[in-house]
Chains A and B, each alone.
Chain A
């Protein structure tokens, strides 16, 4: 009993902090209450729920892991748990937990906070942990192979196809965030563009000058980055240079597509690897700095706990709280993409089964903490500034006066002078309609960092530092994702044309790369030219697909629980699966069939097709051809949504069938690698 006493005390602290967050109305809540509540929830969830699940699935410290059984010093290496935690966390943490919560802040900070906490404890961390466990018991196989092993080859192929489509949407939406952040921003674009030659310089250094010195070259790169940010200000103020780095969103879109195509076929040591070093360390550093900054600054939250937009009329993204909040915040609460990571390199490095809860469950809790910080950051901004930055130009117009009037009319009073001043403080021409979350987060980070270091004068520097940090790892993800998508596509096409497989073949590799870039480029272009900012269209598609992948991973875990004859504990995965299916199927259905053209793709297509039939041109389209393109895009999006629904329903059928078969067998029927099996080497 006494060992539980500190945990009971912690539970009381956490409950008290949540109570303050939930009950204070009308006066600002300090951000630290949310942080305290979150940390208490994480610690208790880990101590009790994660270790409970570990007992249920029979974590066995004496059972050799793949890193022991197949040790080769390269892919399979028994790794210290703290070191492996760093590896796994760096692989799962990306732009998602930073962007989703910022977008979700339009409904107030409370719904997002509650979903992030409940989601991670009951769904997200459970998924990461269980997939890691499944893969660890099966020689570190990938998610697709695990599904094939446990649910059959058809289900495996369907899942592989679904994962490829998700990859396409993720790349498009990430690229869109970069476009929104860098369009018409010479300072931002210069610093990001400077990272390309900088990374190549680093690549040359690690190739020929001092091979293998990752820390050394990263410090050199970091100094280069800081110089690029500082010099970027002069570029932005120069009459000659500024126009060279000022691009419209459409121009940037094509630049990015070209970049993606070229970068993903360059040798990896030249650009991808060195930039990954920079972006990984910068990401971890920025996350730590943000945490320290929030704790020291202890800022009050200016966003209300709930806004009127919970009814679905919000300007940032359309749709009511259920189901759309739960797909808008994907990473941070539950992210299906982690299933691909947890069945990637981590299970091959884990030294002992008893490390699995710490790595799988623990790292996801950490990612959730990042999401909470992003939500806090968005909520410490004046709501007027938040909505001016995130509502589409179609609502706000393009100058501070029209934007201030529109946002004030929404019920969040703000003056045109304030908006102009915020833009001036961060060294930009305008902050209006910078949708996508990254710029909003950058303004908030500039607020927090400048409070710690440098004051008002450093705000513009910190803003561009934050933009650079986000753009850098998004570009790394675009590059690495295009490569990964290429292999997925080669595998898929290889099912029909066997000769297409093989990672070293030149022609199929180039064709698959081109197809992959064309696929995400299509959605990126569509998002960039979307009058509602693109985020409105692409983010829900991303959220739906990502949460559906999570549902697929949890269904796999459910199947395995049944096949292990752990039926009575199946609720561990069934509850989050049912919730995710409810959210994603409803959201997917509404995105296709909702009669509201702001939500439903088909309703939006009908509206434009109807107008076109009468010879009218609706804004933002300026010509009949553009009208036709909008209708076409809407139908593609609806079709894509339908594909996602089809994938998840097909997996559901296979999962239920496999569970029923497993129930009829009176002994475990899982296909684990037996503990006594020892590899030849």
Chain B
């Protein structure tokens, strides 16, 4: 992993956005029968999950 993509991954993790590539890899490995979400749907789904659910607590 180049340092730039690593930095990007850390940045995404800081705002709770998991890696889309990892998701696609997981779906391909475990659920080849199911169609994975496209990148935009994945982004929106994760955004809603992080901010719209119960995980909204931010520290003091």
Contact A92 B59, beta carbon cutoff 8 Å: yes
Q: Which residues of A contact B (CB under 8 A)?
A: 71-75, 77, 79-80, 82-84, 86-87, 89-96, 142, 167, 170, 173-174, 206, 211-212, 214-215, 218, 268-269, 272-273, 276-277, 280-281, 284, 330-331, 335, 337-338, 340-341, 344-345, 349, 473, 476-477, 480-481, 483-484, 487-488, 503, 542, 546, 681
Tell whether, in the assembled complex, residue A212 and residue B39 are in contact, meaning their CB atoms are under 8 Å apart.
yes
- Write 8 A-B pairs (CB below 8 A) sorted by A numbering: A73-B25, A77-B23, A79-B13, A80-B9, A91-B59, A476-B58, A481-B56, A484-B57
- Are B60 and A72 in contact (CB-based, < 8 A)? no
Q: How far is the CA of A218 from the CA of B7 in the complex (A)?
A: 14
Q: A80-B9, A503-B53 are in contact. Are A345 and B16 (CB under 8 A)?
A: yes
Name 13 extra pairs, CB < 8 A, besides A335-B60, A503-B52.
Answer: A77-B23, A79-B13, A86-B13, A211-B40, A212-B42, A268-B47, A281-B11, A337-B59, A341-B59, A473-B58, A480-B51, A481-B56, A487-B54
Chain B residues within an 8 Å CB radius of A75: 49
Q: What residue in chain B is nearest A504 (Cβ atoms)?
A: B52
Q: Which of B6, B8, B49, B59 lies in contact with A74, CB distance below 8 A?
A: B49
Partner pick for B60 among A277, A344, A542, CB 8 A cutoff: A542
Smallest CB-CB separation from A480: which chain B residue?
B56
Compute how far the CA of A340 lies from the CA of B57 in the bound complex, rounded to whole angstroms: 8
* Residues in chain B near residue A80, CB distance under 8 A: 9
Nearest CB in chain A: distance from B34 CB, A: 11
**A71→B51 contact, CB < 8 A:** no
Q: A73-B27, A74-B49, A82-B10 are in contact. Are A280 and B15 (CB under 8 A)?
A: yes
Is the beta-carbon distance between B27 and A483 smaller than 8 angstroms?
A: no
B contact set with A: CB distance below 8 Å = 6, 8-20, 22-27, 30-31, 39-40, 42-60
A195 CB, min distance to chain B CBs, angstroms: 16
- With a cutoff of 8 Å between Cβ atoms, the chain B residues found around residue A79 in the complex are 13, 18
When the two chains form the complex, which single residue of B43, B50, B58 contacts A481, counting CB atoms closer than 8 Å? B58
Q: A residues within 8 A CB of B16?
A: 87, 345
Residue pair A330, B13 in contact (C-beta under 8 Å): no
Task: Say what secondary structure dominates the interface of chain B.
Answer: helix
Contact yes or no, B57 A481, CB < 8 A: yes
Contacts of B9 in A (CB 8 A): 80, 83
Q: Are A174 and B60 in contact (CB under 8 A)?
A: yes
CA distance A87 to B44 in the complex (A): 19
Contact yes or no, A86 B14, CB < 8 A: yes
- Are B54 and A484 in contact (CB-based, < 8 A)? yes
Find out whether the CB atom of A71 lies under 8 angstroms from the CB atom of B49.
no
**B59/A331 in contact, CB under 8 A:** yes
Q: Are B51 and A77 in contact (CB under 8 A)?
A: no
For B43, list chain A residues within 8 Å (CB). 206, 211-212
Q: Give chain B nearest CB distance to A509 CB in angstroms.
A: 11
Chain B residues in 8 Å Cβ range of A89: 14
Given A71-B26, A272-B51, A503-B53, A546:B18 Cβ within 8 A:
no
Residue contact A276 to B60, C-beta cutoff 8 Å: no
| Closest chain A residue, CB of each to CB of B52 | A268
Tell me the nearest residue of chain A to B59, going by C-beta.
A94
Residue of B nearest to A213 (CB): B43
Determine whether the beta carbon of A84 is less than 8 Å from that of B57. no
Q: Are A87 and B51 touching (Cβ within 8 A)?
A: no
In the bound complex, do residue B59 and residue A215 qualify as a contact, i.e. CB atoms below 8 Å apart? no
